[in-house]
Structure 1
Amino acid sequence: MSQPGLNPRRAAVRLLDGVLGKGALLPELLVTGALDKLDPSEKARAQRLAMETLRWMDRADRMLGPFLQRKPELTVHNVLRLSVVELCVDGAAAHGVVNSAVSMVKADKVHHRASGMVNAVLRKIDVTAWDKLPEPRLPKWLRKPLVADYGKKTVEAMEASFANGAPLDLTPKGDPAPLAKAVGGTVLPTGSVRVLGAGQVSALAGYEAGDWWVQDAAAAIPAKVLNAQAGERVLDMCAAPGGKTMQLAMTGADVVAIDVSKKRMVRVRENLERTGLDATLRVVDALEWREALFDAILLDAPCTATGTIRRHPDLPHAKDGADFPTLFALQERMIDHALSQLKPGGRLVFCTCSLLPDEGEIQIEDALKRHDDITVEPITLAGLDPAWTTPEGGLRLRPDYWADTGGMDGFYIAMIRKTV
């Protein structure tokens, strides 16, 4: 009979090996069936342990450093990291954590000889030293450009937000106040409802009735900026998973939503059906698609997603920045294509869930140089701090904003008007 909690710990280590050893993102690993043999509660625990370890890995490595003569093999290192996080963040009982760690390594045919070292190291961990360590730092490949763009103090504030994770944000179909009361949440300045310690999402009041959907407060702002009107013809250019599509459909506009992923568009359809909203869905490459011109277009372009690390702590460890140039070029092409689909006088909201100016401010500066028939309009929306406006007229959102209530995803948003 296995020790209590051993199976989800083993699964969590496998997930960590996949992210840190193979550069895979957690969703990719989950699709491969990495947790298929676990029951639902064990799956949830394995995912939580893996995410928590990735979130706090830098500090865990600092804690382990003085007791390691040399860097262990990856799997052994991940067992140690996971165990330190359980001890120091979760406050788990030392005997259970240490015994499980030793058992995991002993059972590994490749690494079993390291079990004694694992036992010795973990018994030296002083949990009272944890809070004296610096906030976990981002990997150098990402931290260096962010420090260059924002400065060290701002990046440290972002890192603190990343380490703390993210609460649950909901976009309501109607008045946010009754929803906040029903789910035990609070209404944010921009109208989203934030729930702390939400538990199972589908068990929250109003889920079955389709009264709301999950959407980070920052991610809900672009559709509000576009301000679609009833009767307008509106395009959601990269629609999945559908949060912005539903926002647009709520307005009574004639919404067309396109995305290249058939699988992800199934989720958009499911979300629309649950909420009782309607949009025309098309599975197609946005760059190859043309139809009658639109009054308004929302382009949430593919990007590095560096603004979403609060929710996706695997991202900075699975990536290395090699895809940056390709994404920058794709965003430029998508902006140009979107403008070609826009009526004279129409408006385009360009946004990315990225912290990199190359995927935001610089894209708009360059677009203004390429096109003499566009202008950037000021963004005025209730709940937004005027200080978040950037020199070229866009809106820069950062994870350290609203830090006292749980932060927000990093986003860049700009409203472009086609003048002729």
Structure 2
Amino acid sequence: MQTNLSEEAKRLPRAEEAERILRSCVHCGFCNATCPTYQILGDELDGPRGRIYQMKQALEGAPISPSTQEHLDRCLTCRNCETTCPSGVQYHNLLDIGRDFIERKVPRPLGERALRAGLRTLMPRPALFKMALGAGQAFRPFLPATVKAKLPREITPAKARPPVQHARRVLMLEGCVQPGLSPNTNAATARVLDRLGISVTPVREAGCCGAVDYHLNAQEAGLDRARRNIDAWWPQIEAGAEAIVQTASGCGAFVKEYGHLLAGDPAYASKASQVSALAKDLVEVMREAPLETLNVRSDLRMAFHCPCTLQHAQKLGGSVESVLTRLGFHLTAVPDAHLCCGSAGTYSITQPALSKELRDNKLNALESGQPEVIVTANIGCQTHLDGAGRTPVRHWIEVVEEAMA
């Protein structure tokens, strides 16, 4: 695609990257065929091709309106289009650049600014989030249905974690909302890995991965969180930790981007690159392990929802399904498994109508094989899908841990 950036856009730190991505797009439109929002809305401006063109116009100096911002806001950043694209267009990187540029040009209404500020204040802080969650549970009967849907139906308390006792050691990103919404997930992970001869070394100083801030267009705040995590992990990396494990695929996808996003920071570029290389989704550790030592016994029928951040961002589609099948679980077929459930970080809060429609479509597909439980690999998807009050939705590692002899 022929591109002529404005003088202002040429001064952006990632101007060359934006121009390269724009030029790589041949405008074929294959991406629209798998775009969840385009399938629902049928509007060219709400598909990847249309959004790319809008960002191109903005970066070339054309007038920018709130309508442009709205079309970009509606994007789930599911990256399904990247899986489909025959030209290898790095759409999500262009979207980051375009959203940040347009955010500086178009003032948001007060209500939107307050909502986004509230999300950025609450979600990345585990202690504060737990307090808010506790208050929500206490007053649950009096809350509107839309708020109730954001609260988990049941919270399984975290069981004890095994001590660090093995020569093989990994770190684990605890996350920000997961400790409140599903506190046993990371504990179950530590117990399963311990059975496989791998110890999880706790690093309490590491916090939110930074994705919440970054994807709400507070990009520098998100990168500051990334830097703090790198600092927290670095002593253990130097001491020989072999991986940084994520049990939430959304966090994992972002940590794997640290090297790219901090490539221009001379103080952190090298460390960030190493952290991204060490970052592994839990399934990447599990699939290489001797799973027979877990002695799993179960005849549970389950459907697996593969999060977009696992299949499209991390390119690990089919990996969890393979591990679960090796362990003996019966997986039901899921039509259109490539489509997004509508969670997408804070999307279910900022775009509730679209998100609900996507959720209901996804649940219809997941329940078509009549599973007893739905399992997934991302806390956002888990909470969003379970909020419908239909088939229970859990993290897959907890089901594995319960089935171990």
Which range, TM-score by smaller chain? 0.3 to 0.5
Tell me the TM-score normalized by structure 1: 0.33
Higher helix share: 2
**Which structure has the larger Rg over C-alpha atoms?**
1
Higher strand share: 1
Tell me the TM-score normalized by structure 2: 0.34
